Amino acid sequence: MKSIIALLLILFAPLGYSYSFTSSEGSTFEGQLIRVEESQVTILRYADQNEFSIPKSRFIEADQVYFERWAIENPQLNFPGRGVSQISLRCTTARTNDESIIRETGKTFIDIDVSNSVYWNYNWLTVETTVTATIRPETEKVRLKGATVHVRGSSVSGPVYTRIYTAFFVKMGGAPKIFKLDERNVMVDRGKGEFFVSCNPVENYYGYGALVMNLATGKMIGVAGSNHSIKQILEQKGRSGKI
């Protein structure tokens, strides 16, 4: 009966807060669950503020049930990298697409064609002149530009689960605007975490940039841009959470 009551208390205990852990030998301590992995857990012990990792098997069955439930119901808290506040982020253009289109300007041209026909008969000549007018629209060649960007992230303070936004900008009304946004979750570690993002050629292409958010903390931990304006725009969006 006692074990059933203990299990119910665990199942309905507040998640992510103080918890009384019990080892398989019967010793107890107060602390907070930090992360749950396949075979071990990371715990902050309140008595000495020590954070350590330990096998799940070192705890009683009721605690192990709590570990599994906590991991399912708190995926964000369970992301690695809560202690990572900054990563190295590098973006390079691997390939540039240059294309063009023919576009009407709204103006028209009038082409005049004058042709002459000459006939002769004995001692006189007959000249017939024909004038033909053709109206056609004026056109211009518009250059389109796009890019394939190589985004590389590296963390020197351990693995971190991130969301990386890669934005492509155009100039509209004199101001840069995002016309395409790539969003993906990437695990970043030492020298790891890279991918390619492409955009189709577009008129008034302005550049690209990348913004990295730490999924464990919800904070911006990296930003890069092909120019200063883009970097500033992404930094503002990262701080306001309006990306």
Q: What is the pLDDT of residues 61-111, one digit of tens each?
A: 999 999 999 888 887 777 888 889 999 999 999 777 678 888 888 888 888
Domains of the chain (ranges, CATH numbers): 2-73 (2.30.30), 88-99+145-240 (2.60.40.10), 101-141 (no CATH)
In single-letter form, the type of residue at position 86 comes to: Q
Q: What is the pLDDT of residues 144-165, one digit of tens each?
A: 998 999 999 999 988 998 999 9
Q: What is the pLDDT of residues 18-54, one digit of tens each?
A: 899 999 999 999 999 988 888 889 999 999 999 899 9
- The reported pTM is 0.64
Q: Between 241 and 121, whose confidence is greater?
A: 241
Question: Which of 176, 241, 191, 170 has its CA nearest to residue 211?
Answer: 241
Q: What is the reported pLDDT for 55?
A: 95
Kindly indicate the confidence band of residue 138, based on its pLDDT and cuts at 50, 70 and 90: confident
Contact 193, 154 (CB under 8 A): yes
Q: What angle do CA 238, 37, 58 make, to 5 degrees?
A: 140
Q: What is the reported pLDDT for 97?
A: 66
Q: Mean pLDDT, the chain, as a whole number? A: 86
